[in-house]
Amino acid sequence: MNDKNDFLFKNVISLGGIMELNDENVRLRNKQINDGILIHTCSDYGNSLEVIEKASFDTDDLRVMLKVYFNYPDRKNRRNKPIKKQIEEALKRIGRIPTEFILQFCCYFDSNIFKEKTFTTFLLELKRVYGITTIYFEYYPVYNYNWELFLNLQKNLSSIKIGVTGYQNLFNRVFNDYDMKTLEVLNIPIASIGFLGKNPKRDKNPKEYLEQMKINDADDIDLNFLYLIRNLTKTKNAKSFGITQVSSFKNYENLKHRFSKYNNQAEEIFSYLNNTIDLNKNINFIRRDQYGGKYFFIDFIMNPKLLPHIIKKRALHYKTNTYYFS
């Protein structure tokens, strides 16, 4: 990512959202696709796939990052189905296999799965059938992964790039500083979900800090953008990027303007900020899995009914890993 040719807007940003099928949304997505943007989507995101299908009519080049669910905790939910079925559904609705096709696995993976030959064989099959060459695993601290296992998986899959995704912006994070440094050393790419910090249900942005941090007319969006850029410039991995969404042409052009304005100043501005205030003082670590796939021990202590509830739910609808990799 230090190569100037790699540090382009289309290589730094992936755009999701746009779930309603209408002419304006199709025009906006068409512009993004023709700009070479990686489009983030999922079969469970409204009509986002139909928007992509309509919007990609005039180009052979389509870059897609598809979110799929592994072993979704609610066994009766439509998200709980084999990975290939989720991919096939998405491709049917898009109408083709993208020219660049990336997968995002979400929900908890037991680390032992990474060691299984059946799993590596399955991933290689995804590459052979669908041309998938990059796979990201969504992360929450409750998963407590050993990052070396990701590196070992990468070594066993030389033709497929392995990365991680996680909700990460200036004040709201799933990766701590140690994780970030470790992933950098291991050359494991990170896709930072929600890097602009605009989720009102999840993000905590300390107003008193934002007031102190305003520099060069930068607002909270700029500061989160700068945080992403600084992280990207610290790694040589071209597969690291940020995921967000925009809802209009105006917002899309504004995002490109912010990138061009600040992409050469991130380190300088953060050096100033670090000498002025403690940026790590009010970090909101999002520790729990939003899918309910794994819990901390304290969760069972605080809620004694949780464990029997999980056991009952999973026993009634038990499925082996083979089911998801079939």
Q: Residue 69 has what pLDDT?
A: 94
Identify whether 147 is part of a domain. Answer: yes
Listed range (55-59, 200-204, 252-256) with the worst mean pLDDT: 200-204
Half-sphere exposure at residue 167, Cβ-oriented, CA atoms within 13 angstroms: 22
Listed range (117-126, 172-181, 232-241) with the worst mean pLDDT: 232-241
Identify whether 2 is part of a domain. Answer: no
Mean pLDDT score of the chain, rounded to an integer?
84
Range of the domain at 168: 9-324
Of 79, 81, 45, residue with least CA distance to 64 = 45
The mean pLDDT of 113-125, rounded to a whole number, is 91
Confidence check: pLDDT of 276 > 60: no
Q: Residue 316 has what pLDDT?
A: 58
**pLDDT band at 109, cuts 50/70/90?**
confident
Confidence check: pLDDT of 300 > 70: no
**CATH classification of the domain holding 316:** 3.20.20.100
Confidence check: pLDDT of 243 > 60: yes
**More confidently predicted of 220 and 164:** 164
Please give the structure tokens belonging to residue 307: 């464990």
Contact (CB, 8 A) for 71 and 321: yes
The mean pLDDT of 153-163, rounded to a whole number, is 89
The mean pLDDT of 192-206, rounded to a whole number, is 82
Confidence check: pLDDT of 201 > 80: no
Please give the structure tokens belonging to residue 224: 């989160």
Identify whether 4 is part of a domain. Answer: no
Confidence check: pLDDT of 253 > 90: yes
**pLDDT band at 124, cuts 50/70/90?**
very high
The mean pLDDT of 122-148, rounded to a whole number, is 93
Q: Dihedral of CA 102/63/203/225: which sign?
A: positive
Confidence check: pLDDT of 3 > 70: no
Identify whether 37 is part of a domain. Answer: yes
Identify whether 1 is part of a domain. Answer: no
**More confidently predicted of 265 and 129:** 129
Listed range (75-84, 85-94, 103-112) with the worst mean pLDDT: 75-84
Q: Residue 6 has what pLDDT?
A: 57
Q: Residue 198 has what pLDDT?
A: 80
Q: Residue 80 has what pLDDT?
A: 82
Identify whether 219 is part of a domain. Answer: yes
Left, alpha or beta for 70 (phi > 0: left; psi -120 to 50: alpha)?
A: beta
Structural domain total, the chain: 1
Secondary structure of the chain in the HEC alphabet?
CCCCCCCCHHHHEEECCCCCCCHHHHHHHHHHHHCCCEEEEECCCCCHHHHHHHHCCCCCCCEEEEEEECCCCCCCCCCCCCHHHHHHHHHHHHCCCCCEEEEEEECCCCHHHHHCHHHHHHHHHHHHHHCEEEEEEECCHHHCCCHHHHHHHHHHCCCCEEEEEEEECCCEECCCHHHHHHHHHCCCCEEEECCCCCCCCCCCCCHHHHHHHCCCCCCHHHHHHHHHHHHHHCCCCCCCEEEECCCCHHHHHHHHHHHHHHCCCHHHHHHHHHCCCCCCCCCEECCCCCCCCCCCHHHHHHCCCHHHHHHHHHHHCCCCHHHHCC
**pLDDT band at 5, cuts 50/70/90?**
very low
Listed range (26-40, 139-153, 257-271, 280-294) with the worst mean pLDDT: 257-271
Residues 6 or more apart whose Cβ sits within 8 Å of residue 215: 269, 272, 273
